[in-house]
Amino acid sequence: MDYRLYGMPGSLYTAKARSYLIKQGVPFENRAAGEARFMETIAPAVGRWIIPVLEAPDGALIQDGAEIIAAFEARGDQRWPAYPTTPRHRVIGQVFELFGGEGLLRPAMHYRWNFDETNQPFIARDFAAALARVRRGRPPASASRAPRAACARPWPALASTSRASR
């Protein structure tokens, strides 16, 4: 089994982890946070509904984009190490990560939520496809406006992107 990244296409925190996995050539599948397995097994194991969560082939779960990256960096076998080598650069890198992930959250949400004319169709499609509960591969009625493929097998385009870059 490949790694499984539970999240949403439009989730910025999921995107951070996804970008890292793609860049490093880690074999993984994008999985929707509305899937039955996520709702019934992964979220309870993590303690609450939150994304992203990475499920390792051995079943280990990592929640938090920074923790996902840290877990691979700690192994030391990554293709392109993301952490700088000197302690000073590392601290500066962590400040940038904190600023990007937390400090820029308000502007990020502003640009997502305050431009309905351009963003509404994308948001509706993205959230419906990723959050609608999926049981035994059948898209629920509430996801009728979402692409069927996105409910049954989330994000085939992204999944193939990650594979192609390996």
Ligand X SMILES: N[C@@H](CCC(=O)N[C@@H](CS)C(=O)NCC(=O)O)C(=O)O
Q: Report, in Å, the least distance between residue 50 CB and ligand X.
A: 4
Structure-block tokens of residue 17: 């982890």
Q: Report, in Å, the least distance between residue 164 CB and ligand X.
A: 25
Binding residues for ligand X (CB under 6 A)? 11, 13, 49-52, 64-66, 101
Which CB sits closer to ligand X, 101 or 163?
101
Which CB sits closer to ligand X, 98 or 137?
98
Q: Regarding beta strands 28-32 and 3-7, do their DSSP bridges make them parallel or antiparallel, or are they unpaired? A: parallel
Q: Regarding beta strands 53-55 and 28-32, do their DSSP bridges make them parallel or antiparallel, or are they unpaired? A: unpaired
Residue least distant from ligand X (Cβ): 65
Q: Report, in Å, the least distance between residue 137 CB and ligand X.
A: 24
Distance CA(15)–CA(5), nearest Å, equals: 10
* DSSP 8-state secondary structure symbol assigned to residue 39: I
